[in-house]
């Protein structure tokens, strides 16, 4: 289950769904929310968006957040929202997963766009 409200409902979801359900929390650009989500039982946290977008409050999750998280915290981290080639390159060794949104799914050919974003030749 991917929760979009930071750490607010992680504990409740964990209690209701049990230890076998994978629960993740979108934490915007807040390291604090990520830490609280992890303490509440999140299996992963996600930060984003990664570049300018109209999503959420407009705050951008910068690569230094992912660098700190991947160095200091064992809980997997996911980069989510407004991903482009530059951002993906910067986060290549700093994030465990990527989550694509409109930057991929609103394209005419999402598979070609995904291959392009990830640097695969076609």
What ranges do the domains of the chain cover? 2-117
Helix (H, G, I), strand (E, B) or coil at 100: coil
Query: HSE-up of 101 (CA within 13 Å, CB side)?
Result: 13
For 26, the token pair is 């979108």
Question: What are 40-80's pLDDT values in tens digits?
Answer: 999 999 999 998 876 667 789 999 999 999 999 999 999 99
| Cα dihedral 86, 88, 89, 93 sign | positive
Phi, psi of 71 (to 5 degrees): -85, -40
Q: What is the pTM of this model?
A: 0.88
Which CATH superfamily does the domain covering 2-117 fall into?
Answer: Aldolase class I (3.20.20.70)
Confidence check: pLDDT of 16 > 70 = yes
């Amino acid at each position: 289950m991917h929760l979009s409200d930071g750490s607010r409902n992680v504990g409740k979801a964990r209690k209701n769904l049990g230890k076998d359900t994978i629960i993740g929390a979108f934490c915007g650009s807040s390291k604090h929310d990520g830490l609280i989500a992890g303490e509440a039982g999140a299996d992963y946290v996600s930060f984003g968006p990664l570049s300018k977008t109209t999503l959420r409050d407009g705050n951008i999750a910068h690569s230094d957040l992912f660098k700190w998280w991947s160095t200091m915290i064992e809980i997997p981290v996911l980069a989510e929202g407004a991903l482009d080639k530059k951002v993906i390159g910067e986060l290549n060794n700093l994030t465990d997963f990527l989550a694509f949104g409109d930057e991929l799914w609103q394209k005419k050919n999402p598979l070609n766009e995904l291959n392009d974003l990830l640097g695969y030749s076609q």
